[in-house]
Chain A
Amino acid sequence: MLVFWGDLVHYLYFVIAGIIAFFLVKNLFKREKRNGLVYDIVYAYCIIPFVLRILFIK
């Protein structure tokens, strides 16, 4: 049973990583505040670890 719950939490976190990655991409292209180039760079950069996580690379 513990293995099941452990696996459930494990995959839940992957889903959460996917949701965060989605919102980072969304906010990169469509946001109302802080429209400067520096914020674009930060958003684009922050997407990397989430994408690597979803792809089971890091």
Chain B
Amino acid sequence: MSNETTAKAPVAFKTKVILLIIMAIIAFFAGKEFWELRHYKETFVASEDLTQVKWLSDYLPSLKGTWADTPIYVFDSGVEGGSVFVMGNVHPYEPASSITTYVMLENIHVTTGKVFIMPQGNFSGSTMGSIGGAYPKYVHIETEWGEKTYKIGSRESNPLDQWPDPFTYVHYPDGQNLAYQDIRNMNRTYPGREDGTLTERAAYAVMEFIRREKIDISIDIHEASIMYPVVGTYVAPDSSIDIAMMAAMTLSDSVFDMKCEASPKSLKGLSHREWGDYSDTLAFLMETPEPFIDRITGPITENLMLYGMDEFLVKAAEKGLVYVDYPVSYWGVEGEPMWYRVGRHLSGALEAINWTGLFYDDKAVEVTWPTYDDLAENGLGYYLHDPALAENIDRVQVVYHKPVSVNN
């Protein structure tokens, strides 16, 4: 066999060059896709209540200039009260979380206390996506003035920023062994490490932010596959479980079904466990149903992200294998639509904040933003404002890993 292969006449040099050029062209078009997502800049029209823009690197300077740095928008009412931190896109392939924060950022009004909103919790992860798995790069939300485009990122930090992975990820400081890729999963690296990997440092900076700003209520927004039991729920540690339970009962009674899960003490690195253990904050994690990330779906398309309808999941639901109502039906559209998931988060966060104020007077924050009912009536796009309008131009903010002029 070896003699046979060596006996073949070599391919001409010119053919090899042509092959290399063809591959370079393929590489160019493939690379362009990755490059565009890596450098895409999301924008929003900030509410008039915006008082300050901070950066995660303000709390850990070694993050400055890295792709883990990310902006934190501050809304200070000037009236003494509690403080709330809302974090989106810790897992950037769950874009209802970042879109929820954008709806908040564009429409928030605070009358008591302070609200801090971080739309891209793991900025590095938002720059990768799963293009190699034929996932769409973006999700587009229709508005009255055109389309608004948001990234569909990855679950973990981008390997361009943190690479290689170890064979086993050993959690710091508990020493628990976790899956190797979880070393780039921000929601497995809390409480973080000041001199650790990029993701551990980002997690440490979030902890420092919560401690230094004395955040009373911290809300981590996620989405989950509908065949995963922890979906359509709050997850809370002992310190906030009573509040989460009351909020879940209120929502289930009046708006939509919401569950409440206790944060497991033995599973390390998660926000709902470590935020409360390593600071005085009351931690809440929220999950909505996102069929896009279920394992048994058909084509992974933008429509699946927007509407959440999949025939295989319908079959699974018929056999009782899913953990939420599926499909839900609104306006003749069946699935788990984006507005529904964003609306759940908006009302879920408000309910947790309101109940915290009822439990603890000194932690009360009075804040409004659109609710589930508002989105059910007007749609999601209604609450995203046109950045081109003259009255909005000065309020346009660009969400990137470093400051960017809005005129760029």
Binding site for B on A (CB under 8 A): 1-3, 6, 9-10, 13, 25, 28-29, 32-37, 40-41, 44-45, 47-48, 51-52, 55-58
Contact = CB atoms under 8 A, between A and B. Distances in A.
A34 B195 CA distance: 48
A21 to B, nearest CB: 11
25 contacts: A3-B62, A3-B196, A10-B163, A13-B163, A29-B13, A32-B6, A35-B5, A35-B6, A35-B8, A35-B11, A36-B8, A37-B15, A40-B15, A40-B19, A44-B22, A47-B20, A47-B23, A48-B26, A48-B30, A52-B34, A55-B31, A57-B34, A57-B160, A58-B34, A58-B160
Bin the interface of chain B by size. Answer: 20 to 34
Interface of B: 2, 5-6, 8-11, 13, 15-16, 19-20, 22-23, 26-27, 30-31, 34-35, 38, 62, 160, 162-164, 193, 195-198, 201
A57 B5 contact: no
Nearest to B160: A56
Contacts of A10: 162-164
Contacts of A40: 11, 15-16, 19
Contacts of A41: 19
A7 B6 CA distance: 43
A40 B165 CA distance: 31
Given A2-B196, A33-B5, A37-B11, 17 more contacts: A3-B201, A6-B196, A10-B162, A10-B163, A25-B20, A29-B13, A32-B6, A34-B5, A35-B6, A40-B11, A40-B19, A44-B19, A44-B22, A51-B27, A52-B27, A52-B34, A58-B34
A56 B67 CA distance: 12
Nearest to A48: B27
A52 B15 contact: no
B20 A44 contact: yes
Contacts of A35: 5-6, 8-11
Contacts of B38: 57
A6 B198 CA distance: 9
A55 B31 CA distance: 9
Nearest to A31: B10
Most buried by A among B13, B15, B27, B163: B27
Nearest to A9: B164
B130 to A, nearest CB: 12
Most buried by B among A28, A44, A48: A44
B164 A13 contact: yes
Contacts of A57: 31, 34-35, 38, 160
Contacts of A37: 11, 15
B8 A52 contact: no
A5 to B, nearest CB: 10
A58 B15 CA distance: 27
B314 to A, nearest CB: 35
A33 B160 contact: no
A6 B197 contact: yes
A20 B241 CA distance: 53
Contacts of B10: 35
A56 B160 CA distance: 6
A48 to B, nearest CB: 4
B195 A2 contact: yes
A13 to B, nearest CB: 5
A29 B26 contact: no
B23 A1 contact: no
A33 B10 CA distance: 9
Contact of B195 (A3, A29, A47): A3
A13 B159 CA distance: 11
Contacts of A32: 6
Nearest to B26: A48
A52 B27 CA distance: 7
Given A1-B195, A36-B8, A52 B16 contact: no
Nearest to B158: A58
Contacts of B9: 35
